[in-house]
Amino acid sequence: MAKRALLTGITGQDGAYLSQFLLSKGYEVTGIVRRSSHKGLEEHRLQWLEIDKQVKLLYGDVADLSSLLRIVQQIQPDEIYNLAAQSFVASSWDQPILTAEITGVGVMNMLEAMRIGAPQARFYQASSSEMYGKIREPMQSELTPFHPRSPYAVAKLYGHWITVNYRESFGLHASSGILFNHESPLRGIEFVTRKVTDGVARIKLGLAKELRLGNIDAKRDWGHARDYVRAMWLMLQQPTADDYVVATGRTTTIRDMCRIAFDHAGLEMDKYVVIDSAFFRPAEVDVLLGNPAKAKEKLGWSPQISLEEMIVEMVEADLARLKRSR
């Protein structure tokens, strides 16, 4: 029989790529989605990858334990991937309570539904490099202390530790992936990489004259989401659950990431980028650089797609989108 996977956040970037990956492995894939009056719009990433007809979607919400328990008992999944979150850092200052409920307590709800309804399943929690925040070490590993710098990061930290707690308290196979920044053409437009590649495409096509950004000297460790969902799956194939940093081990400024995008489009970045204080965070995370040694050693995982290749793919995808919409 085919393995059954249950995903929260299936219509997000990671959920779509993970679904595609699991389908290629012969899994039955079910996703939990919130009821929306905008039926169909939330599924555009699944449609982009042409897998929307191959996955099953059920209505539920990580804030509603009863819906999660009902679905877990119905599906009896072999693997559960908890990717749902209010995932935009900037919005977490505007909606801190919502962020805490969804990104933090929502993890416990999912774990509790699994503990009661399918304790034999294997669980993946999407933790985040944002938990490191005000970094204590130049390269962050699984043992680096956390110092979160946003309501989002604080909520992610709760989700991370409650996963560890359920693993240690109830013997659940529950792992966390501390994923550093990972992007793709499916990334939301509000995230800086996609904002840049979309902005470059608009300028190239004469649809915009400038690109307004915040702190472009912040450094991030960027990889491709397609690589990172493979690491999620590998964690759940291990005999024992554990936590893993998933990163490239290379950090790049937003400025240099921008330059890659503008150079690919044959544009001079300095002519178009405008620094706008409105886009600065109340508390900035200046540098993130992950140490993926454990994932490489224990999972046999390493990234296959470079930052340059990823940015070029994203620029080309945004050019194609904009040309179609015209």
Nearest to 241 by CA among 160, 168, 189: 168
- Residues 200 and 164 grouped into a single domain: no
Three-state SS at 27: coil
Of 17, 124, 152, 244, which is the active-site residue? 152
277 with 227: CB under 8 angstroms? no
Does residue 4 contact residue 30 with C-beta atoms inside 8 Å? yes
- The rounded Cα 259 to chain-centroid distance in angstroms is 24
Per-residue model confidence (pLDDT) at position 39: 59
Tell me the H-state helices in 78-224. 89-94, 96-99, 106-117, 151-170, 192-204
40 with 77, same domain: the answer is yes
Task: Find the catalytic residue in 28, 130, 183, 313.
Answer: 130
Q: Is residue 179 part of a domain?
A: yes
**Shared-domain flag, residues 145 and 176:** yes
Residue 136: both structure tokens together: 């204590």
Give the pLDDT score at 305. Answer: 98
207 and 123 together in one domain: no
Residue 294 within a domain: no
Tens-binned pLDDT, residue by residue, of the chain (326 aa): 899 999 999 999 999 999 999 999 999 999 999 876 555 556 789 999 999 999 999 999 999 999 999 999 999 999 999 999 887 677 788 899 999 999 999 999 999 999 999 999 999 999 999 999 998 899 999 999 999 999 899 999 999 999 999 999 999 999 999 999 999 999 999 889 999 999 999 999 999 999 999 999 999 999 999 999 999 999 999 999 999 999 999 999 999 999 999 999 999 999 999 998 887 767 667 789 999 999 999 999 999 999 999 999 999 999 999 999 87
| Nearest residue to 278 via CA among 73, 80, 90, 13 | 90
Give yes or no: residues 236 and 142 share one domain.
Answer: yes
Q: What is the pLDDT of residue 41?
A: 58
Residues 27 and 151 in one domain: yes
Q: Which residues contact 90 (CB under 8 A, 6 or more apart)?
A: 190, 281
Cα angle: 14, vertex 199, 207; to 5 degrees: 130
Total domain count for the chain? 2
Residue 293: inside a domain: no
Please give the full DSSP string across 237-294, using - where no structure is assigned: TSSS--EEEE--S--EEHHHHHHHHHHHTT--GGGTEEE-GGGS-SS---B--B--HH
Is 296 within the bounds of a domain? no
Domain of 216, in residue numbers: 192-220+251-288+305-325
Instruction: Say how far apart CA 207 and CA 217 lie, in whole Å.
Output: 26
Contact, 68 vs 7, CB < 8 A?
A: no
- Which residue, among 79, 90, 89, 86, has the nearest Cα to 106 in the 3D structure? 86
Residues paired with residue 220 on neighbouring β-strands, in sequence order: 252
Instruction: Please tell me the predicted confidence (pLDDT) of residue 286.
Output: 79
- Size of the chain, expressed as the number of residues it contains: 326
Q: Are 146 and 156 in contact (CB under 8 A)?
A: no
- Is 130 tagged catalytic? yes
Same structural domain, 228 and 281: no
- Closest by CA position to 109, among listed 71, 63, 164: 63
Tell me, yes or no, whether 171 and 208 share the same domain.
no
Say which CATH number the domain at 274 has. Answer: 3.90.25.10
If phi over 0 gives left and psi between -120 and 50 gives alpha, with beta otherwise, what is residue 9?
left
Backbone angles phi, psi at 183, to 5 degrees: -130, 180
pLDDT of residue 287: 87
Determine how many CB atoms are found less than 10 A away from the CB of residue 205.
14
Domain assignment of residue 110, yes or no: yes
Three-state DSSP state, 43: helix
The C-alpha R_g of the chain, in whole angstroms, comes to: 19
Q: Which of 19, 67, 87, 128 is catalytic?
A: 128
Examine the residue annotation and report whether 152 is marked as an active-site residue of this protein: yes
Strand-strand pairing, 56-59 and 79-82: unpaired
Give me the CATH number covering residue 16. Answer: 3.40.50.720
Distance from C-alpha of 300 to C-alpha of 293, rounded to nearest angstrom? 10
